Amino acid sequence: MRNILLLNLYLFVSLSIFSQKKVYADFHGTRFTREVEGEFGEWKYAQKLTNNTCAPDLTYNPDLILNGRHDIAAVDYPLVGMQSQYDPDYMEYTILSAKAAGIDGFFIEWGFKDHKSQNLLLKYLPVARKYNFEIGVILCDGWLMSKTWITNVRPEISTDAQKVEYFKECMQFLIDSVYTGPTAPIVSGRPVMYLFHDGFTSAQFKEIQDAAYIYPKEYISNTETKFPQVIMRTLLSPTMVKGVYTPNSPTEQESTWIQTNKVIPTSWIPERIRSGSPCEKWNIYATQDDCLAFLQQFADHVWTANMGFASGWANPGMDNYGCGGWSSTSKLSYISRNDGETYKSMWELDVKYKNELDMVYIGSWCDYTEGHEIEPTVNNGFRELYTTLKYASLFKEKTSYDDSGVELPLKLFKYRKAGALYQKCGLNCENLNEVLNEVAYSISKAKYAEAIQLFQNAQGLIDILDAQIEKTTYHIDASDYSVYGTLNNDKAYMLSSGSRTSITLNSGIVDLLQSNYYEGFINFDYYDATTWGGKLSIVTGTDREPSSTFKYAAQITHKGDGQWKSGTVQLYKGNIKYRCQAGNSDISFYDTSSEGFIKNMSFDFTVYTLKTNASINNHSRDKKCSFYTNGKKIYADSCWLPLQITCYNMEGNAVFKTTMDKTTCDMSFLPQGVYILSANNSSHPGCTKVISL
Q: Where are the domains of the chain?
A: 20-406, 409-467, 472-610, 627-692
- Give the number of other Cβ atoms within 10 Å of residue 281's Cβ: 12
Q: What was the pLDDT predicted at 101?
A: 98
DSSP letter for each residue of 508-541: HHHHHHHHSEEEEEEEEEEEE-SSTT-EEEEEEB
> At 455, is the secondary structure helix, strand, or coil?
helix
pLDDT tops 80 at residue 276: no
pLDDT tops 60 at residue 620: no
Over residues 158-170, mean pLDDT: 98
pLDDT digits (tens, 9 = 90+) for 511-544: 999 999 999 999 999 999 999 999 999 999 999 9
Q: How far apart are CA 425 and CA 439, in angstroms?
A: 24
What are the beta bridge partners of residue 475?
A: 604
Q: What was the pLDDT predicted at 638?
A: 64
Cα distances from 660 to residues 118, 140, 259, 303, 664, in angstroms, run 54, 63, 76, 69, 7
Alpha-carbon dihedral of residues 71, 323, 197, 312, nearest 10 degrees?
60
Report the first-to-last Cα separation within the chain, whole angstroms.
Answer: 43
Over residues 247-265, mean pLDDT: 98
Q: How far apart are CA 377 and CA 367, in angstroms?
A: 12
Q: What was the pLDDT predicted at 154?
A: 98
Q: What was the pLDDT predicted at 589?
A: 96
pLDDT tops 70 at residue 236: yes
> 57-61, 380-384, 478-482, 610-614: which range is least confident on average?
610-614
Alpha helix locations (H) across 364-428? Answer: 383-395, 408-424
Q: How remote is the C-alpha of 474 from its chain's centroid?
A: 32
Q: Which fold has domain 627-692?
A: Immunoglobulin-like (2.60.40)
Q: Return the CATH number of the domain spanning residue range 20-406.
A: 3.20.20.80
What are the beta bridge partners of residue 684?
A: 681
Q: How far apart are CA 23 and CA 397, in angstroms?
A: 13
Q: Is 474 left (phi over 0), alpha (psi -120 to 50) or beta?
A: beta
pLDDT tops 90 at residue 254: yes
Confidence (pTM): 0.88
Backbone CA torsion sign across 97, 264, 202, 246: negative
Those residues with Cβ within 8 angstroms of residue 276's Cβ, 6 or more apart along the chain or in another chain: none
> Largest Cα–Cα distance of the chain, in whole Å?
96
Q: Return the CATH number of the domain spanning residue range 472-610.
A: 2.60.120
Q: What was the pLDDT predicted at 224?
A: 85
Confidence band, pLDDT 50/70/90 cuts, at residue 304? very high
Confidence band, pLDDT 50/70/90 cuts, at residue 2? very low
Q: What was the pLDDT predicted at 601?
A: 97
Q: What was the pLDDT predicted at 619?
A: 36
Average pLDDT for the chain: 91
Q: How far apart are CA 348 and CA 299, in angstroms?
A: 12
Q: What was the pLDDT predicted at 617?
A: 40
Q: How far apart are CA 558 and CA 536, in angstroms?
A: 7
